[in-house]
Amino acid sequence: MESTIVKAVNYNSYFGDNHVVKDVNIEIPRNNVIAVMGPSGCGKTTFLRGINRMHELIPGATAKGQIMLNGEDVMEMHPIFVRLKIGMVFQRPNPFPNLSIYDNVIAGYKLNGIKLPKAERDKIVQHSLERVALWKEVKDSLNKKGTFLSGGQQQRLCIARAVAMEPEVLLFDEPTSALDPISTSTVEELFHELKKNYTLIIVTHNMQQAARCSDKTAFFYMGELVEYDDTKQMFTNPKDTRTQNYITGRFS
Amino acid sequence: MSAQIKYRIGKSAGFQGLTILLASSCVIPLVAILLYIIRAGITKINWSFITNVEKPVGEIGGGVAHALVGSLIIILMAAIVAVPIGILCGIYLGENRNSKLAYWSRLSVDILQGVPSIVIGIVVYIWLVKPFGYSAISGSIALAIMMLPIVVKSTEETLKLLPDNIKEAAYALGMPFHRVILKVILPCGISGILSGVMLSVARIAGETAPLLFTAFGCQFLTTDVRKPMETLPHLIFKYAISPYNDWKDLAWGASLILLIFVLLLNFFTRLITRKWKVQL
């Protein structure tokens, strides 16, 4: 299997006239955790949302260039298909408030009208919840509403919901910024488990998180991809002065 | 304590007292109306009143069965027309807040809400009654036009309150637009939308003016919607302006029934909002 799974080629995105992501070229290897960091407003979230074409849902948003998934351009594919292949977890936990925990995990099938036998559904739910280390905590309350869980559990439920679709790539948009430190570390431990089966791209504000969890780190500044390297290399010996300034806290 | 502080405390207490006094005074008109209508109407209501139809003047034992059935049919038909259109329009307005169509459509709905009901009645008279004659259908259309803005507004307001991140979650799972709306947005907002529908029904249940020259009224129990049909508010109007005392009594009884119907609707609306509310 080819090692590069996602590749951006001269990727640009805009909000109206506002050029937010500028000419990004990046290659993301399979089964790795990639951290995307940078100061607020540097375009990292916009870039992430471009990968599964969530960017274009915002009125006035456009994109140019290519995002390749396994060598195929996602801009040419139907967005629905892209989003089945590339799952996403958001900043704030957003389980469907009208659905039970069980239905939340299976939501990608149920709400898309994909019919599965009960045994199969049970298997997917258990498997997905186990993957996010939530099964033991919720196995007796699967029929309760997803919103009854704590914030950290809700976020893991949202990860389970994305994992249940068996995507190839998982995108995380500052997944722990709304969580307390204990929930944060639980989610971070998950990253190491999840990368065995998926490729993870994580946008984060938190440099320590990038250093702790990722194999490779990309640094965005003013819409440009300034530096992209192995995380260790990046944090010990950054090549660009802007990266160095950011890491040492000269601006944030 | 200085006099200045005492004065300010006194002023604050006085203002608070005033708000409490005026808030409780809002209850007075409703209680007064309720008491009066119950006192005047309760003695007229019995089984034969509900099951009998109109009798000629002088004969005892006339009832409102034909008006009850007529009101239910006309309201139901109005709801069948107005609810789907209203909800879909509300969805569009909630989803496309800034488009040109949304602007014009929102403006039209706002203005429609302010159009006097008698004017709507006249317009429907010109459109439908003149070519086809008096009918229950034309009455339903007039009432549907009155319902529409209420349903649209309540749907739009409900959808606006739903957080965007639920919609994003649905899109990120690869759901197409129609499924996001039908399977996620509508179920999450169902209590608000339904209560809007119920309130709009309560609002039109008592409308008389648009029915005067559309459904027209009728002395018999009929379910033929192409013919004139009696309704409760029109029956009250007809009986109340009549010179006969026994008809006037029937008007009080019918008023009480209409009032009970509207109160029950309000009660169930509250029940639904509480029971089906999705905790966000």
CATH number at residue B68: 1.10.3720.10
* Residue A248: pLDDT band with limits 50, 70, 90: confident
- Residue B259 domain boundaries: 47-279
Enumerate the residues of chain A whose CB falls inside 8 A of the CB of residue B173: 83-84, 87, 107-108, 111-112, 161-162, 165
- Tell whether B143 and B100 lie within a shared domain: yes
* Residue B250: pLDDT band with limits 50, 70, 90: confident
Minimum-distance CB partner of A97 among B98, B173, B280: B280
* Residue A161: pLDDT band with limits 50, 70, 90: very high
- Tell whether B30 and B124 lie within a shared domain: no
In angstroms, what separates the C-alpha of B67 from chain A's closest C-alpha? 40
Minimum-distance CB partner of A147 among B172, B174, B279: B279
Evaluate if residue B30 carries a pLDDT over 80.
Answer: yes
Query: Which of A149-153, A182-186, B81-85, B260-264 holds the top average pLDDT?
Result: B81-85
| pLDDT tens string B73-101 | 999 999 999 999 999 999 999 888 888 99
- Tell whether B56 and B72 lie within a shared domain: yes
Average model confidence (pLDDT) across chain B: 91
| pLDDT tens string B204-241 | 998 999 999 898 888 888 888 889 999 999 999 998 99
Enumerate the residues of chain A whose CB falls inside 8 A of the CB of residue B278: 97-98
Asked whether the beta carbons of residue A96 and residue B165 sit closer than 8 angstroms, the reply is no
Q: Is B173 on the interface with A (CB under 8 A)?
A: yes
- Tell whether B119 and B194 lie within a shared domain: yes
pLDDT on residue B77: 95
Minimum-distance CB partner of B173 among A97, A98, A107: A107
CA distance A100 to A210: 33
Block residue for tokens 């006037």: B248
| pLDDT tens string A197-221 | 999 999 998 888 999 999 999 999 9
Task: Give the 3-state secondary structure of residue B280.
Answer: coil
Asked whether the beta carbons of residue B174 and residue A57 sit closer than 8 angstroms, the reply is no
- Tell whether B36 and B70 lie within a shared domain: no
Asked whether the beta carbons of residue A158 and residue B188 sit closer than 8 angstroms, the reply is no
Enumerate the residues of chain A whose CB falls inside 8 A of the CB of residue B194: none
- Tell whether B23 and B133 lie within a shared domain: no
Take residue B228 and report the two structure tokens written for it.
């004139």
* Residue B38: pLDDT band with limits 50, 70, 90: very high
Q: Is B186 on the interface with A (CB under 8 A)?
A: no
Take residue A134 and report the two structure tokens written for it.
């939530």
- Tell whether B150 and B13 lie within a shared domain: no
Element containing residue B209 per DSSP (H, E)? helix B209-212
**Mean pLDDT across the stretch A44-64?**
90
pLDDT on residue B277: 79
Q: Is B130 on the interface with A (CB under 8 A)?
A: no
In angstroms, what separates the C-alpha of B5 from chain A's closest C-alpha? 45
- % residues pLDDT > 70 (chain A): 98
Q: Are A176 and A183 in contact (CB under 8 A)?
A: yes
Asked whether the beta carbons of residue B188 and residue A96 sit closer than 8 angstroms, the reply is yes
- % residues pLDDT > 90 (chain B): 62
pLDDT on residue A251: 67
Q: What's the structural domain count of chain B?
A: 2
Closest-CA residue in chain B for A107?
B173
| Cα-Cα end-to-end distance for chain B | 48
- Tell whether B105 and B229 lie within a shared domain: yes
Least confident range from A112-116, A181-185, B275-279: namely: B275-279
Evaluate if residue A250 carries a pLDDT over 80.
Answer: no
DSSP at B215: T
CA distance B105 to B92: 10
Evaluate if residue B1 carries a pLDDT over 80.
Answer: no
Closest-CA residue in chain B for A58?
B168
Enumerate the residues of chain A whose CB falls inside 8 A of the CB of residue B187: 98
pLDDT on residue A2: 59
| pLDDT tens string A63-85 | 999 999 998 898 899 988 999 99
pLDDT on residue A26: 93
- Tell whether B113 and B163 lie within a shared domain: yes
**Mean pLDDT across the stretch B57-71?**
85
Asked whether the beta carbons of residue A165 and residue B278 sit closer than 8 angstroms, the reply is no
In angstroms, what separates the C-alpha of B182 from chain A's closest C-alpha? 9
pLDDT on residue B95: 87
- Tell whether B80 and B149 lie within a shared domain: yes
Asked whether the beta carbons of residue B166 and residue A113 sit closer than 8 angstroms, the reply is no
| pLDDT tens string A1-50 | 558 899 999 999 999 889 999 999 999 999 999 999 988 888 899 999 99
Evaluate if residue B202 carries a pLDDT over 70.
Answer: yes
- Tell whether B15 and B129 lie within a shared domain: no
**Mean pLDDT across the stretch B65-73?**
92
Average model confidence (pLDDT) across chain A: 90
**Mean pLDDT across the stretch B178-190?**
91
- Tell whether B24 and B155 lie within a shared domain: no
Minimum-distance CB partner of B188 among A57, A97, A108: A97
pLDDT on residue B62: 80
Asked whether the beta carbons of residue B184 and residue A96 sit closer than 8 angstroms, the reply is yes
pLDDT on residue A229: 92
- % residues pLDDT > 90 (chain A): 58
Evaluate if residue B58 carries a pLDDT over 80.
Answer: no
Evaluate if residue B49 carries a pLDDT over 70.
Answer: yes
- % residues pLDDT > 70 (chain B): 100
In angstroms, what separates the C-alpha of B109 from chain A's closest C-alpha? 24
